[in-house]
Amino acid sequence: MTKEQADVSLELLKAGDRREFARLVDKYSNSLYRLALKMLGNPLDAEDVLQNTFLQAFQHLRDFEGRSSVSTWLYRIASNEALMLIRKRHPEIALSDIVSEENNENDFVPAQFTDWGHLPEEELLSSESRLLLDRAIQNLPEIYRIVFILRDIEGLSITETSQALNLTETAIKTRLLRARLRLREEISRYYGEKLNKRSKK
Amino acid sequence: MSHNDQYNCQALLGSLCDYVDGCLSEELCQEIEQHLSECDDCRVVVDTLHKTIYLYKKSAEETEIPGKVRERLFKALNIEDYLQRE
C-alpha cells in the first residue's frame, strides 16, 4: 500500500464519507490550484478549475478503478478542466495550429548560449524575473505547458504524466524536451541582457 | 555549436531530457560528459536548462492557495463543516 492510500482511505471516499473527502481536498487543493494558476495565468479561472476538479472527482469517485494513484487521477481531471477552459477562452486556436506546432522541429534548436546560471539567486528570482518566468510559461503552447507543469513543477514521473494526459511516454518526452528548450531559450534572452548590463557597470 | 561538433550536439539534444533527469546508463552519461567538456555551447545549454527547471520549481513552491479561495472551495463542495481554519 502506498503512503498516499494509507493517508486517504479510498474505501471511505467511495462510501461517500464527507470527512474523508474533506481530507482529500485539503491534501491536494494546493497542488491543483498551483497547476491551474500556472496553466491559466489568472486567479479567477484557477479557482473555477479547482472547484470543478473536486466536483468532478466527487461525482466520479465510485467509478475510480485505481489504475493510477488518486493524485494522478486528480491531476488528470484538473488538466482536462484547465485545457477545456483555455479552449473555451481561445476558440481561435485551431487544432491545426497545434499539429503544425508539433511538426515544427526547427524552433527547438538552441540559439542562446549565454551562461547566466551563476547570476545570484536574488536576481534570478527578483519580482521582475518572476514576472518574466510567468510570461514565458504563458507563451508556451498549452500542450507543452501542461507537460512541463506536471513533470517539472509538480514532480510527476514520466509514467504518471502520461497517465494524467492519456498520452504515450514518448509523446510526453518529446513535449517535455520542447517545453524545457523553449523556456530556456526565452529566459536566456532576458537573463543574458541582465548579465550584459552587470558587466557594463 | 561548431560544425565539427554538430553530430554530437544533435545527439545530445535527443538525450537531453533523459540526461538532465538522470535516466541514462553510466556509459551514455560518460559519453555526454566527454562531449560537454569539449563543447562550451552544449555545456551552457545543459547548465542553464537545469537552472531553468530549478527556477520554475522554486518560484512555484511559494504559490499557495489563498485562504479565501480555500474557504470558497469547501463551501462549494458542501464540506465547510470540516474546514480547519489556518
**Domain spans of chain A?**
3-89, 107-200
Q: Between chains, do B49 and A180 touch, taking CB under 8 Å as contact?
A: yes
Asked whether residue B11 carries a pLDDT value surpassing 90, the answer given is no
Taking only the tens place, the pLDDT of each residue in A143-178 is 999 999 999 999 999 999 999 999 999 999 999 999
For domain A3-89, say whether CATH 1.10.1740.10 is its number.
yes
Residues of B in contact with A25 (CB under 8 A): 73-74, 77, 79
Q: Between chains, do B77 and A54 touch, taking CB under 8 Å as contact?
A: yes
Letter string b/e over residues B40-53, b meaning 16 or more CB atoms within 10 A of that residue's CB: ebbbbbbebbebbb
* pLDDT for res A3: 46
Are A172 and A158 in contact, with CB atoms under 8 Å apart?
yes
Q: What is the ipTM of this complex?
A: 0.91
Domain boundaries A107-200, corresponding CATH code: 1.10.10.10
Return the C-alpha cell found at A33: 490550484
Distinct helix (H) and strand (E) counts, chain A: 11, 0
Q: For the whole model, what pTM was predicted?
A: 0.92
Asked whether residue A27 carries a pLDDT value surpassing 90, the answer given is yes
When pLDDT is cut at 50, 70 and 90, the band that residue B62 belongs to is: confident
* pLDDT for res A98: 65
